[in-house]
Amino acid sequence: MQIGPYQLPNNLILAPMAGITDNPFRRLCSQFGAGLTVSEMVISNSELQQHPRTLKKTDYSGESSLRSVQILGTDPQQMAAAARLNRDRGAQIIDINMGCPAKKVCSVAAGSALLKDEGLVERILSAVVNVVEVPVTLKIRTGWDLANRNALKIAKIAEACGIQALTIHGRSRACKFNGQAEYDTIRQVKRHVNIPIIANGDIDNAEKARQVLDYTGADAIMIGRAAQGRPWIFRELHSQLSGQEIPPLSLSEIKTVINQHLENLYCFYGATSGVRIARKHIGWYFDQLGSLPSEQKTIINQAQQPAQQLALVNASFTFITPRVA
């Protein structure tokens, strides 16, 4: 898998996810073999570029893999300025968000709402590509709704503008995350453009990954929600797709992974924010491993200090029956 001058180690990519693909999670997924990780989306509004939360989203400390940052906005010149700023901050790839279906994003005509205006799409892509020398990629959905699937038109615009790779989530904006992703649109796009195509949507195991790659002809797959609480999915997919047989992680190994992740969160965000942000990850981890008694979940969520939270998480392993997906 090649993006511009960069040869990825494999074709398994971690999707950008708001509030999730931060520095600690990107590092963890890279450790388990993700060929590329993409930051959570960074708004292009110039007034927010120095905000502490924005700076945290683009903090690459300790990361050895390629640095790809996703930017979000509707104004071509503002998007160009954001691309330039993030390049200066160390981004090696700029990804443009035209796929987010969230109401608060689409209500300001950003994210997948941009798919309604193909002229604006072209102006944004051209402005960003022309202002930075690093590769620019794009993430879209199949269209605005099921009656308006214009991914192929957008893909042709993207290719003409110099976009180096295109990710397509197999749902329209109107679908949000409901129903099942479809791959016919991705297959159609792959047949009509020459840039690398990355398939996204509902890929959560090696069999599904192989089916999607074979059916669409895509160059890579992007993993999003399936990595929540299961960052080792990249290790599983890589080994199974390459025909290798490796044993699944033991419960003891998973416990070590969780400890490492939580400690990195505390270090990166500080005690108070680290504990708060860790709660959702803890929930996802135990969803993968097996159910916890509701009272134990409550106790963990009430923890206020890192040491207390970590101790409660480790003690919780005695309450579960191992069940690794």
List the catalytic residues: 100
d(C-alpha 147, C-alpha 93), whole Å: 33
| Side-chain half-sphere exposure of 141, counting CA atoms within 13 A | 27
Q: What's the Cα-to-Cα distance from 281 to each of 40, 195, 205, 274, rounded to whole Å?
A: 15, 35, 20, 11
Tokens of 13: 């990519």
Q: Nearest 5°: phi and psi at 15?
A: -70, 150
Q: With contact defined as beta carbons under 8 Å apart, do 85 and 73 qualify?
A: no
Q: How many CA atoms are closer than 13 Å to the CA of 281, on its beta-carbon side?
A: 28
314: helix, strand or coil: helix
The angle formed by the CA atoms of residues 71, 75 and 76, to the nearest 5 degrees, is 80
Token readout for 119 is 């002229």
